[in-house]
Amino acid sequence: MIELHRRSTFSSDALRGSVSADQRPNALPRQQIHALSKPVAFCSLCRAEIPGSVRDTNFQAAAEGHIDGVYVRLQAGSVLFAEGREAAFVSILYAGQIKLTTTTRDGKTLLLRIAKPNDLLGLSAALSHTPYEVTAQAIEDSLVRTYKKKAFLDFILNNADGGLYAAESLVNEYRSAFNDVRRLALSVSIASRMANLLLEMMRASGDALHAHPVFDILLTHEDLASMLGSSRESITRTLNHFKRTGILAITGRKVTILQREMLEAMI
């Protein structure tokens, strides 16, 4: 389910083309709309506080008062936009995680990367005036702010801070793609690829300085297999091996790295 947090006269009807028919946006009550006429500090629906590092990004500061958009709350599993659809919007992720996937000609789905707060979604398609090249699907309850493509492109063309933020976003996409190719091309085993991915997730979590870093993995084993060019069974065996040998501990979705040096030695 997708719900809109209105902030302007930007019509929610236009956004319906980006989601499936059973995921229609629903307007929020007037009091919740009014709450978002001020700088956003939390999601009015889930009450989850939005980190200051997200609220106070250069893009948010630069965009304030210059470009209209709507806040969209995505429940886990909801699709923000689909591969092959017209790129009518660009969105910035405020809270949560969204997976970006593509489908091969034989129908196989490949998970390309996980978008994190502050990431711009749909930017490359908007800049190249081509359809979305990926599908963006929430893997947990998420909050995005969505802008019409033309308004967004006009804004980054005429605003130095906005243009710089967009350029930085493209650089981050390149780095992510480079790391993916390197992980697949240079790692000779599934264990090596998994070790590399776990270390990347650890660094992205902000907990890397701790002796035993802890972070959440919201991806299924099938998703991990898609990222690592493997099978779900191989991913399960590899993680079980890491647990048996004391490299890590897994409780629910939480992963604790117990022997970081062993993971580093594998890559």
Mean pLDDT value across residues 221-245: 92
In the predicted structure, residue 53 carries a pLDDT above the cut 50: no
Please enumerate in sequence order all residues whose Cβ is within 8 A of that of 56, keeping only pairs 6 or more positions apart, or say none.
Answer: none
Question: What strand order describes the sheet that includes 248-251?
Answer: 214-216, 254-257, 248-251
Burial class (CB in 10 A: 0-12, 13-18, 19+), 26: exposed
β pairing state of 2-5 and 26-27: parallel
Q: Which of 181, 206, 233 delimits the end of a domain?
A: 181
pLDDT range class, residue 207, cuts 50, 70, 90? confident
What pLDDT does 42 receive?
38
Model confidence at 57, in pLDDT bands (50, 70, 90)?
low
* Domain boundary, last residue among 131, 154, 181: 181
- Based on the domain organization, do 45 and 159 belong to the same domain? yes
pLDDT at 35 over 50: no
| Claim to verify: residue 55 and residue 130 sit in the same structural domain | yes
pLDDT band of residue 33 (cuts 50, 70, 90) is very low
DSSP class per residue in 179-227: HHHHHHHH--SHHHHHHHHHHHHHHHHT-TTSSS-EEE--S-HHHHHHH
**58 and 23 in a common domain:** yes
pLDDT at 180: 74
Give the domain range for residue 170.
2-181
* Pairing label, strands 214-216, 135-138: unpaired
Residue 236 is which amino acid?
Answer: T
CATH number at residue 35: 2.60.120.10
- pLDDT for 40 equals 36
Assign residue 248 the CATH number of its domain: 1.10.10.10
For 107-147, what is each residue's pLDDT tens digit?
888 888 899 888 999 999 999 999 999 999 999 999 999 99
Angle between helices 190-205 and 221-228 (to 10 degrees): 110
Count of domains in the chain?
Answer: 2
CB atoms < 10 A from the CB of 74, how many? 27
On whether both 146 and 70 belong to a single domain, the answer is yes
Residue 119 · residue 172 · CB < 8 Å: yes
* pLDDT confidence of residue 55: 45
Evaluate if residue 208 carries a pLDDT over 90.
no
pLDDT greater than 70 at residue 56: no
CA–CA gap between residue 90 and residue 156 (Å, rounded): 12
Q: What is the pLDDT of residues 61-115, one digit of tens each?
A: 677 777 888 899 999 999 999 999 999 999 999 899 999 999 888 888 888 889 9
The verdict on 223 and 171 lying in the same domain is: no
Residues 123 and 147 in one domain: yes
Q: Are residues 193 and 147 in the same domain?
A: no
Residue with the bigger pLDDT between 210 and 153: it is 153
pTM of the model: 0.68
- Structural domain ending residue among the three candidates 148, 165, 181: 181
60 and 175 in a common domain = yes
Do residue 93 and residue 212 come from a single domain? no
Do residues 11 and 114 share a domain? yes
Note whether 161 and 193 are same-domain residues: no
116 and 236 together in one domain: no
Worst-scoring range by mean pLDDT, 11-15, 67-71, 95-99, 168-172?
11-15
Mean pLDDT of 12-28: 40
